Amino acid sequence: MTTPTHPKKDLYQAACHCGTVRFSVKLSDGLHSARRCNCSYCCMRGAVAVSANLDDIHVQQGQDALTLYQFNTHEAKHYFCSTCGIYTFHQRRSNPHQYGVNVACLEGMSPFDFAEIPVNEGRIHPNDRPAGSSNIAGWLRYTANPDTTTD
């Protein structure tokens, strides 16, 4: 995985698209935990997520606008803004002591800041797969078109 050249921060400010939901987050491994997943939900959602411990995310505005979505085992808790529909973060099934945070919600960040992102094998959840089997399904790569970049 390629980590973007953004300076490492201790605390990130984050928001949904419309700004109704605003939160601060301390990432457990900085941007090094960036990943995608190929489970049925993540394939459709398409977000790049980074990890934060449960105690390290603080909703500063819009708690009442967060809507919960759960499916299948109902263990993971996916939160999104009820106004603009943007996925903000989710409590992970594979590690219920952590949130996955939508990197696009982090101030100044974009999923296109990463040249390569590992894609976790989510069609067979890590909690349901035999020990020792690979967790990486593949890699998602992004290369900017030099003809369309702006400075």
Q: Across the strands, what pairs with 68? A: 79
What is the CB-side half-sphere exposure of residue 75 using CA atoms within 13 A? 10
Q: What is the pLDDT of residues 14-44, one digit of tens each?
A: 999 999 999 999 999 999 999 999 988 988 9
Q: What is the pLDDT of residue 70?
A: 96
Amino acid at 48: V
pLDDT, mean of residues 129-134 = 68
User: Where does residue 97 rank: exposed (0-12), middle (13-18), buried (19+ CB within 10 A)?
Assistant: exposed
Residue 151 pLDDT level (bands cut at 50, 70, 90): low
Nearest Cα neighbor of 79 from 66, 70, 62 is 66
Q: What is the pLDDT of residues 107-123, one digit of tens each?
A: 999 999 999 999 988 88
pLDDT of 134 above 80:
no
Residue 148 pLDDT level (bands cut at 50, 70, 90): confident
Q: What is the pLDDT of residues 42-94, one digit of tens each?
A: 889 999 999 999 999 999 999 999 999 999 999 999 999 999 999 999 999 98
> Do 76 and 44 touch, CB atoms closer than 8 A?
no
> Do 45 and 53 touch, CB atoms closer than 8 A?
no
Residue 52 token pair: 């934060």
pTM for this entry: 0.88
